[in-house]
A and B are shown apart, each in its own frame.
Chain A
Amino acid sequence: MPLVLVRIDDRLVHGQVVVGWGMHLNPDRIILSSDTIASSPWEKDIYMSAEATAPYPLTISVMSQDETISFLNGHLIEKEKIILLVESPQELVELVKKGLKIDKVNIGGMHYKQGKRRLAQYIFVDERDISFFKELSKMNIQLEGRDVPSGKKINIIDMIVSLQ
Chain B
Amino acid sequence: MIGGIVLTHGKIASALIQAAESIMGDVNNIYDLSTANLSLNDINVSLKQTIASQSWENGTLIMVSLMGGSCWNAAVGIARQQPKIEVVSGVNLAMLISFLSKRDHFSLPELAEIIKKDGIRGIDRPLNL
Q: Which residue of A lies closest to B40 (CB)?
A: A11
Q: Which residue of B lies closest to A13 (CB)?
A: B68
User: Within 8 Å CB of A54, what residues of B?
Assistant: 68
Asked whether A111 and B38 contact (CB < 8 A) given A46-B77, A49-B76, the answer is yes
- Give 11 new A-B contacts, CB below 8 A, not counting A46-B72, A53-B67: A11-B70, A12-B40, A43-B77, A46-B73, A49-B67, A49-B72, A50-B67, A53-B69, A111-B39, A112-B38, A113-B42
Cα separation A51 to B76 with both chains bound (whole Å) = 15
Seen from chain A, the residues whose Cβ lies within 8 Å of a Cβ on chain B are 10-15, 18, 42-43, 46-47, 49-54, 109-113, 121-122
Do A10 and B68 touch (CB < 8 A)? Answer: no
Do A15 and B70 touch (CB < 8 A)? Answer: yes
Seen from chain B, the residues whose Cβ lies within 8 Å of a Cβ on chain A are 9, 37-42, 66-70, 72-73, 76-77, 80
Asked whether A111 and B37 contact (CB < 8 A) given A13-B68, A49-B68, A50-B68, the answer is yes
Cα separation A12 to B77 with both chains bound (whole Å) = 14
15 CB < 8 A contacts A-B: A10-B40, A10-B41, A11-B40, A11-B70, A11-B73, A12-B40, A14-B69, A14-B70, A15-B70, A46-B77, A49-B68, A50-B68, A52-B68, A112-B38, A112-B42
Residue from A14, A49, A50, A122 in contact with B37 in the complex, judged by beta carbons closer than 8 Å: A122
Residue from B9, B39, B40 in contact with A15 in the complex, judged by beta carbons closer than 8 Å: B9
Minimum CB–CB distance from A112 to chain B (whole Å) comes to 7
User: Within 8 Å CB of A13, what residues of B?
Assistant: 68, 73
Do B80 and A10 touch (CB < 8 A)? Answer: no
Minimum CB–CB distance from B55 to chain A (whole Å) comes to 25
Q: Which residue of B lies closest to A87 (CB)?
A: B40
User: Within 8 Å CB of B70, what residues of A?
Assistant: 11, 14-15
User: Within 8 Å CB of B39, what residues of A?
Assistant: 10-11, 109-113
Asked whether A46 and B76 contact (CB < 8 A) given A11-B39, A112-B42, the answer is yes
